[in-house]
Amino acid sequence: MKPAITHYLHQDETLPLIQLRRLGLIYSSYRFIVGLFSMLMVYITAQTGNIASLPSFLQQTVLSFYILLSLILLGLFYVVHKKMRRQLAFGLVLDVTILSLLLYTAGAPDLQLTMLYMVVVAASFMLLHSSQALIITLLAIIFVIYQQFFYAIANSMNLANLGNALLMSASFLAVGGLSWSISYRLVQLEKVAASHAKEVERLNVINQEVITQMANGVIVIDNQHVVLANLAAHQLLSLPYNASITLPSVSNEADSSTRHESYTELLTDFEQQLSKQHTQLLHACLSVSAGQSCTFTYDLPSVANASIFGKLRVHIIPLTDGSKLIMLEDLRREQASAQQLKLASLGQLTASIAHEIRNPLAAISQASQLLMEDVIEIEERNTTNGSTAVSNSNDDLSGNYELYKMIFAQTKRVNRIIEDVLKLSRQQAASQQSIVLAEWMPTFLENYFQGHDIFLRVKTQPTISFDTHQLEQVLINLINNGLRYSSYANPHAYVEIEIYCADNDVIIDVLDDGAGVSTESLKHLFNPFFTTDQAGTGLGLYLSQAFCEANQTRLLYIPEHKKTCFRLIAPSADAGTYGSMNKKT
User: What CATH topology corresponds to 433-584?
Assistant: Heat Shock Protein 90 (3.30.565)
Asked if the peptide bond before residue 491 counts as cis, ω within 30 degrees of 0, the response is yes
Residue 440: the pLDDT is 93
The Cα–Cα gap between 204 and 520 comes to 55
What one-letter code names the amino acid at 192? V
CA–CA distance, 253 with 36 (Å, rounded to integer): 36
Provide the CA 201 distance to its chain's centre, in angstroms.
15
Separation CA 77–CA 99 (nearest Å) = 21
Please provide residue 454's backbone torsions phi and psi, each rounded to the nearest 5 degrees.
-115, 115
Give pLDDT tens digits for 543-575.
888 888 878 888 888 888 888 899 998 888 764
Is 447 exposed, middle or buried (CB count within 10 Å of its CB: 0-12, 13-18, 19+)? exposed
Look at phi and psi of residue 582 and say left if phi exceeds 0, alpha if psi is from -120 to 50, else beta: beta
Return d(Cα 235, Cα 247) in angstroms, integer.
18
Beta-strand relationship, 564-571 and 494-502 = unpaired
User: What CA–CA distance (Å, rounded) separates 492 from 283?
Assistant: 54
What is the reported pLDDT for 1? 45
What is the crossing angle of helices 540-550 and 331-385, to 10°? 150
Secondary structure letter of residue 193 according to DSSP: H
φ, ψ for residue 24 (rounded to 5)?
-65, -40
Q: Where are the domains of the chain?
A: 2-195, 214-322, 334-425, 433-584
Query: Could you say which residues of the chain have pLDDT below 50?
Result: 1-2, 4-5, 7-11, 50-51, 156-157, 250-251, 254, 304-308, 388, 575-585
Amino acid found at 506:
V
Nearest to 304 by CA among 129, 90, 503: 503
pTM of the model: 0.49
CA distances from 443 to 308, 462, 472, 564 (A): 28, 16, 11, 24
Question: Are 462 and 572 a contacting pair, CB within 8 Å?
Answer: yes
Amino acid 509: pLDDT: 93
pLDDT for position 508 = 92
